[in-house]
Amino acid sequence: MNKDVLKAKSAIVQEVTDGLKASDGFIVCEYSKLSVKEISELRKSLRAKEGKAAVYKNTLVSRAVSADYKDLEPLLTGSNMYFFLKESTNGSLALIAKFAKKHEGFNIKGGTLDGKVVTPEYITEVAGLPSKEGLVSMLLSVLQAPMRNLAYSLSEIAKKQPAAATAAPAASASQTAVK
């Protein structure tokens, strides 16, 4: 085999290995019946979320994952697209899951999240969770609710208090009139 070809292949294996180490998530998806426009749209959307989509030969990816992720090797058949996600909670995982639901020829086969091999069902489940910012927002809302409710209750009492104060002298006046 030509030395240049071997260098190119080993560079791809190294690229995949480095991508696996640097990313929070690595997703394997089968794609077929997708147009170039659809794939380009997915890649562009993913880039905005600090993710990367690439197509490699399965044998080269197999060499890259064989050391740390032997459980991924059965997924490396057919036409696969590989996704490297810098952070799985920034919406990039949800973007892939939404794309898979929308396009019939695009299926999530599995991958790794936080260094653990995961199933497509798990990936879809995690993709449905709110983002980190959304969770923080929910937590702050829950923490703020008791104070907001107390403030509302006190303002309602304050609104009724002046009415009760004016009604009290009138009631005492009517009691003196009855005597």
Please tell me what DSSP assigns to residue 56: -
Question: Do residues 45 and 95 make contact, with C-beta atoms less than 8 angstroms apart?
Answer: yes
Q: Which value, to the nearest 10 degrees, does the dihedral of the CA atoms of residues 82, 88, 91, 95 take?
A: 20
| Range scoring the smallest mean pLDDT among 21-35, 128-142, 152-166 | 152-166
What pLDDT, on a 0 to 100 scale, did the predictor assign at position 128? 83
Report residue 163's pLDDT band, with 50, 70 and 90 as the boundaries. Answer: low
CA–CA separation, 126 vs 51, rounded Å? 16
| Pair of tokens at residue 140 | 């702050």
Q: What is the pLDDT of residues 42-81, one digit of tens each?
A: 999 898 888 889 999 999 999 888 878 888 888 889 899 9
CA angle at residue 14 from 10 to 18, to 5 degrees? 175
| Pair of tokens at residue 70 | 């032997």
Q: Which residue has the higher pLDDT, 176 or 155?
A: 155
**Number of other residues whose CB lies within 10 A of the CB of residue 35:** 10
Question: Which residues have CB under 8 Å from 98's CB, separation 6+?
Answer: 127
Q: What is the pLDDT of residues 63-73, one digit of tens each?
A: 888 878 888 88
What pLDDT, on a 0 to 100 scale, did the predictor assign at position 175? 57
Q: CA nearest 29: which of 89, 90, 85, 105?
A: 105
Region of 121 (left: φ > 0; alpha: ψ -120 to 50; beta: rest) is alpha
CA–CA separation, 178 vs 89, rounded Å? 74
